[in-house]
Structure formats: structure tokens, C-alpha cells
Structure 1
């Protein structure tokens, strides 16, 4: 049986989502906890990757498990499985570090895949324009004025563009640099705090942080709108803005179409 697990994490202490040889990762911690509780080696497949220090407010992954193995000789009825999953969530949260929290585990169709069945992913990048000791860990302080109206004008061009080669980390293993962006905008949440929201069917490695860096160059007046459009349509990674720090980036949501119901983490 296949199960989806929905969870969030503070990425400060992790070298991203994916398991790495000599560094701690969120995937490693989740697999360890599941394997302990289910008494067998469990492999978890995530909806995507996040880089070192990047956070996820709502992440999804899937794993395969036969509940009957856990209950030994006693047959598991359909009525008992949801209760078992509730207990699994509770026990996972007891084992996992405090910076990882599981929200839900649910059974899904066998063909559902956390990565390939995802229809959308939404990221937020947070900035603040005044020194604030309570924002510094999860938001980037901007020490210069920004023209957010111009930045939003530039962001709208992402909705009509598909090839994001200029915002992809050099040397990546992407088979294609085509992405379909359905939302891109700067949102003000207080007189001194903003976030950039972007939703797409997929993202390239380092794409969001490069997009934000380029938009900030527009807002600072370092590049004109004409230069921005030239980067968007004809540029390479070296032409786009710098990659912004990962601590202010959050994977906010992953969307799925499940039969007639939209599942959101």
C-alpha cells in the first residue's frame, strides 16, 4: 500500500531534503523514524528537493507499507487503518527532532507519486526593510530602497514565459529548463515586511533564489526592465541576479489532483 505523508520543517540544521553521504538531511531523519516505528527499512520519496537551510511549511512525500505486517497475525480491517495512521503521526512526532513536524499520513492510490503526481509547488521568499531581531532567522534584511511596483511589473512576465535556463544553477542535471509559472507577485504584510510568492508545476535547482535576486536588481535600479527582459529571454545564469540566501525561502505548499478531490499538504 502507498501512503502520503505531509509535514513541515525548519531547514536551518539540515543540508537540504535529500540524503547526502556526510551531512544530515530531512529525508534521512524521516526515513529513520519511519523505519523504527514500522520495523522495516522504509524509503521515502519527496515531492522535490530543498537546498541547505531552506524551509518547508508544507511538504509531501510517499512511502510503501503493508499495515498487516505491523499487526502480525491479527487482520487489519478498513475501519482500523485510519486509527493506525493517527497513531503513526503521533509516534513519528515523538521520535523526530523538534524542527520536523508530521501533520498527516493518508493512504493513496498505488499510482500516486509524491514528485511526479504533484501539479503545483508554491514558494515564498521573505524580506524585511528595517532591522528587526525577530525577523533575522527567516527573512532577509534589505538595506536599500526597493521599487516593489516595478518588481511586480517584472514578475508578471514570468506568467508568459517557459524557459528558465537563465535562473538554473550551472551544471544541474535538469533534462529540461521548461517550467510553467502560474503565480508570481510581491505581497506586503506590514509596512516593513514583504514576501515573494511564486507557483509553478516544477522548479529548477536554485531557480527561486535566482529569480528573487534578479527582481531585487530591478527594484534597486541596477538593471532596467529592458535588461531584465533580455535576461529572461536570452540570458544565461551569469547574467541573472545573485542567488539569495536560503534561510528566507520556504516551500509553502504542494498541490495534487487526487480523483475528484484536490489534496493539499
Structure 2
């Protein structure tokens, strides 16, 4: 009797501080590399995962998605428990389940949500140094919120994309973009149908410029129209960024 191949989806949370990002690189540990190693050891076959978002070095996640194929008889829902025993403590699989054999996390309709967190106070907080970007100058949250409103909807985000990105189109749709402050933490939360390389961090850097008064909120439409990376703000540091999660329409319909 031949073993039946199945496709398994993982929901992966991690602290990206000690990694060179998601994607395997010749020199340095990566999230993808750790998953491949641990899964191959666990299942006794060579496993290569495919991830939904290739997060950069230092970026964190509460719910990145990866899939892989296996002939192992271990039930998909049990894999997460066994896998977590073999992973470093800063990578934890939150869930594992079977998905259709043609499901690929980057090739289906989805909504991705990220948060960029800014510690906005006079002095650093050593307990938040790894998951927030410290910024000592006072930021005007109301102005940042007003500017964020101009980015909601479908636009050409070429001004908010790294010049090194290779994509067919720079048009993306933002479903929601909020800016909130609780005590000393400003949280920029953004949900869209996909994001260009460094797009969320460039949006964060631009909104910070608005918060300091260097840019006015009403300049955002001009920046979008220019389709020029030089017009937008700087790319905010990676460690303030966390992928919150991904919603897949096709999976919800089939479940």
C-alpha cells in the first residue's frame, strides 16, 4: 500500500530578533531553515516549507503561514505538538492542519494584517527594546491618523516600495489602517490584500514624519501620485514590525 501524500499548513509565531529573516540564506539562521530542519527530523523525510510572507531580519510574527507536503502518517493536527519540541524557544507553531493539495499561501486571495509599534517616550524601556521602535520626539497621533486615512483603498504604492523590489504591479488595496496610542505605545495596524517589499515599514516611517510635523497629512496623496520612493519617509527599523496574521477566503469557504 502506497503512502498518501498530504499538504499541511502551519501557523507560525516567532521572535525574529536572532534570525536573518524568514527565507533561507547561505550564512545565518532563518525561520524557514529551522522549520525545514525540525520537520525533516520529525517526519524522517526531506521537508521544504513554502511561506506566505518572507519577513525580513528582526521582524516578528504572531501568525505567518507555511505549507509543506508529507507522506508521514502522523495526523496533521498532532504535528504542531511534536514539532514544537524540536524548535528553538523563539519559534512556536500555533496550529497545524491539512489543506487542499493545491493550496499555496502566496497564490490565493488573502488579507494580511501587520502592526508597527513605536515606543514614544523620553527614555528607552529595556523591556520593549526588541518589539518596539523607540522614538523620543513627541508624535502627533491625530495627524498620523489623518494621514493614514489617505492610504486606505486601492492605490499605486510605488512611492512606498523598496527600489529593489521586482513585481509586476505596485498597485495594492489597503482595507484598514489605524493609528492608536495606549500609554507610551503607538500602534499602526494595517490590513491589505498584499504588501510590497518594505511597504509597511515605509508607511510607518512616513507616518512618523507626519507625527513630527515634517510632513502634513494632506501631502500623502501627492506622495502616492509621485510614484517616487524619494518622496516618502524613511524605512522604519524592522524590530518594530510584527505580522499579526493572514485570513484566507478560500479556506474559510471550504471549512
| Same topology, TM > 0.5 | yes
TM-score by length of 2: 0.92
Q: How does 1:1-265 map to 2 (within 5 A)?
A: 1-68=6-73, 84-130=75-121, 131=123, 132-188=125-181, 190-258=182-250, 260-261=252-253
Q: 5+ unaligned residues in a row in structure 2: which ranges?
A: 1-5
Indicate the SS of the match to 1:122.
strand
Once the two structures are TM-superposed, the CA of residue 191 in structure 1 deviates from its matched residue by 2.2
Distance 2:212 2:218 in 1: 15
Once the two structures are TM-superposed, the CA of residue 260 in structure 1 deviates from its matched residue by 4.8
TM-score by length of 1: 0.89
Query: For the aligned residues, what is the CA RMSD?
Result: 1.6
Distance 2:115 2:29 in 1: 24
Deviations 1:51-72 (A, max 9, x none): 110001111111111234xxxx
Does structure 2 retain, via aligned residues, the 8 Å contact 1:5–1:106?
A: yes
Deviations 1:98-127 (A, max 9, x none): 110011110111121111125111000001
Does structure 2 retain, via aligned residues, the 8 Å contact 1:47–1:118?
A: no
User: Which range moved further: 150-159 or 86-95?
Assistant: 86-95
Distance 1:86 1:230 in 2: 49
Distance 1:160 1:261 in 2: 24
Does structure 2 retain, via aligned residues, the 8 Å contact 1:19–1:28?
A: yes
Indicate the SS of the match to 1:181.
strand
For these two proteins, the number of residue pairs brought into alignment is 248
Distance 1:92 1:260 in 2: 25
Indicate the SS of the match to 2:58.
coil
Change (3 A) 1:215 1:262: farther
